Amino acid sequence: MSALLEVAQLRTHFLTRAGVVKAVEGVSFTLERGEILGLVGESGSGKSVTGFSLIGLVDPPGRIVSGSIRFDGQELVGLAPDRMRALRGKRIAMVFQDPAATLNPVLTIGAQMALAVQAHGGGSERAARDLAARTLTRVGIPDAAARLDAYPHEFSGGMRQRVAIATALLHGPELIIADEPTTALDVSIQAQILAEMKQLAKQSGTALIWISHDLATVSSLADRVLVMYAGRIVESGPVASVLRAPLHPYTRGLLDSLPAMARPGEKLNQIPGSTPSLLSLPPGCPFAPRCPRATDICRSDPPVVTQPGRMALCHHPLEMAAA
Ligand SMILES: Nc1ncnc2c1ncn2[C@@H]1O[C@H](COP(=O)(O)OP(=O)(O)OP(=O)(O)O)[C@@H](O)[C@H]1O
Ligand SMILES: [Mg+2]
């Protein structure tokens, strides 16, 4: 059986007044059924635009300029909007960072979840409410049937995010794209929701793409990680091996800036400089201006370095140096 999702050389650009913003520039990866993939990188690296591209929600002035997204063998790039809508919410669902953006303040939780059920032809209102209540229970909302008549403002931020996750789960999608769904929540609720999402994904065989700027969050959740920088995947591999021995100096930099990963007595090291403007990238490796290992050769395009199950785009990968 082929992978659930095969993304090849995806490029999504925004044609702005100031120039062409190459938000996603040659992204390739695959995702197996039931697999949890972390997509990490600093702000502006193209994580959200990648997620929106997968689900067909890139709005002008943005568009997918080339590449392929195959979902269960079906090409999604160029798919007719009505066929994309039929997939979205049913077989592929997305959870956004801000649940307020997805929940309608004037509808009860039950009413909007029933609408989401019925959008994909789901039977009577009664049946839709039953399914909504069962799904809310699965994401840990106590007394769910009674709470269907509450409005979003009657829920805490954590509970609203659980509702958004439950809505994504309604149709038993094969793929959920979760775009920083817990960053607005406090740390203990974050950890709880993370653990629950992982359990739900593993139980139901749902594949999950978890977008986060936080490598620590991803490390506790994902099977594999993609590290994104300036619209490219600069490193990918199984979480454990990437964390233990990153190949790309950027991944090393992200790790060194994590409080939880610092060795006792060591100070945290932020990566110097800031993410480059996608309108004026340097030639060659976009990370070179911030990279402690950069040399002249980094002004040319970096080669793909591979190890079993892993890859990095770098002239001076770390593991190689250690070996
Ligand atoms: N509508 C738009 N018009 C122009 N540029 C855009 C638009 N949407 C996104 N971009 C640009 O695309 C790039 C990638 O943005 P994206 O939102 O994917 O970053 P991100 O990795 O999700 O960052 P964050 O961690 O802050 O959410 C950024 O440079 C952003 O400015
Ligand atoms: Mg984002």
Convert the pLDDT of each residue in 222-231 to its tens digit.
999 999 999 9
For the CA atoms of 183, 188, 193, 194, the dihedral, rounded to the nearest 10 degrees, stands at 80
Q: What percent of the chain has pLDDT over 90?
A: 65
Using CA atoms, how far apart are residues 288 and 295, in angstroms rounded to an integer? 8
The SS3 assignment for 215 reads helix
pLDDT tier, 304 (very low <50, low <70, confident <90, very high otherwise): very high
Which atom of ligand 1 lies closest to the CA of 277?
29
7 closest CA partner among 90, 66, 73, 67: 67
Which atom of ligand 1 lies closest to the CA of 213?
25
- pLDDT given at position 46: 96
Mean pLDDT confidence for 135-161: 90
211 closest CA partner among 97, 304, 129: 97
Which atom of ligand 1 lies closest to the CA of 21?
5
Q: In this predicted model, which residue has the larger pLDDT, 159 or 62?
A: 62
The answer, yes or no, to whether any atom of ligand 1 lies below 6 A from the CB of 194, is: no
Task: Determine contact, residues 113/134, Cβ cutoff 8 Å.
Answer: no
Spacing, Cα 147 to ligand 2 middle (Å)? 31
Q: In this predicted model, which residue has the larger pLDDT, 94 or 266?
A: 94
Of 45, 234, 250, best ligand 1 pocket probe by most atoms within 8 Å of the beta carbon: 45
pLDDT tier, 267 (very low <50, low <70, confident <90, very high otherwise): low
- pLDDT given at position 1: 67
pLDDT tier, 259 (very low <50, low <70, confident <90, very high otherwise): confident
- pLDDT given at position 264: 66
Ligand closest to Cα of 94 equals 2
For the record, the structure tokens of 299 come out as 């002004």
The CA–CA distances, whole Å, from 278 to 20, 21, 127 equal 8, 6, 48
| pLDDT tens digits along 181-224 | 877 777 777 787 888 888 888 888 999 999 998 898 898 899 99
The CA–CA distances, whole Å, from 94 to 56, 97, 298 equal 11, 10, 37
Whose alpha carbon is nearest atom 18 of ligand 1? 46
Spacing, Cα 47 to ligand 2 middle (Å)? 6
Residues with CB under 5 A from ligand 2 (ion): 48
Ligand closest to Cα of 52 equals 1
The answer, yes or no, to whether any atom of ligand 1 lies below 6 A from the CB of 27, is: no
Indicate the fold that domain 5-91+174-269 takes in CATH. Rossmann fold (3.40.50)
Mean pLDDT confidence for 97-115: 86
- pLDDT given at position 138: 84
Q: Reply yes or no on whether the pLDDT at 112 is more than 60.
A: yes
Q: Reply yes or no on whether the pLDDT at 261 is more than 60.
A: no
- pLDDT given at position 133: 95
Interior/surface letters 44-58, b for 16+ CB within 10 angstroms, e for the rest: bbbbbbbbbbbbbeb
Mean pLDDT confidence for 237-256: 95
Using CA atoms, how far apart are residues 88 and 85, in angstroms rounded to an integer? 5
Mean pLDDT confidence for 153-174: 89
Indicate if the alpha-carbon torsion angle 246, 231, 88, 210 is positive or negative: positive
Q: What percent of the chain has pLDDT over 70?
A: 95
Cβ neighbours, 10 Å, residue 42: 17
Of 11, 13, 14, 209, best ligand 1 pocket probe by most atoms within 8 Å of the beta carbon: 14
Mean pLDDT confidence for 131-143: 90
Using CA atoms, how far apart are residues 37 and 226, in angstroms rounded to an integer? 7
Spacing, Cα 48 to ligand 2 middle (Å)? 4
Mean pLDDT confidence for 99-115: 88
Tell me, letter by letter, the H, E, C secondary structure of 254-310: HHHCCHHHCCCCCCCCCCCCCCCCCCCCCCCCCCHHHCCCCCHHHHCCCCEEEECCE
Spacing, Cα 125 to ligand 1 middle (Å)? 38
The answer, yes or no, to whether any atom of ligand 1 lies below 6 A from the CB of 51, is: no
Whose alpha carbon is nearest atom 24 of ligand 1? 43
* 307-310-315 Cα angle (round to 5): 70
The answer, yes or no, to whether any atom of ligand 1 lies below 6 A from the CB of 16, is: yes
Q: Start-end ranges of CATH 3.40.50.300 in the chain?
A: 5-91+174-269
- pLDDT given at position 266: 66
Comparing 5-9, 145-149, 318-322, the range with the smallest average pLDDT is 318-322
| pLDDT tens digits along 80-92 | 999 999 999 899 9
- pLDDT given at position 262: 55
Task: Determine contact, residues 22/11, Cβ cutoff 8 Å.
Answer: yes
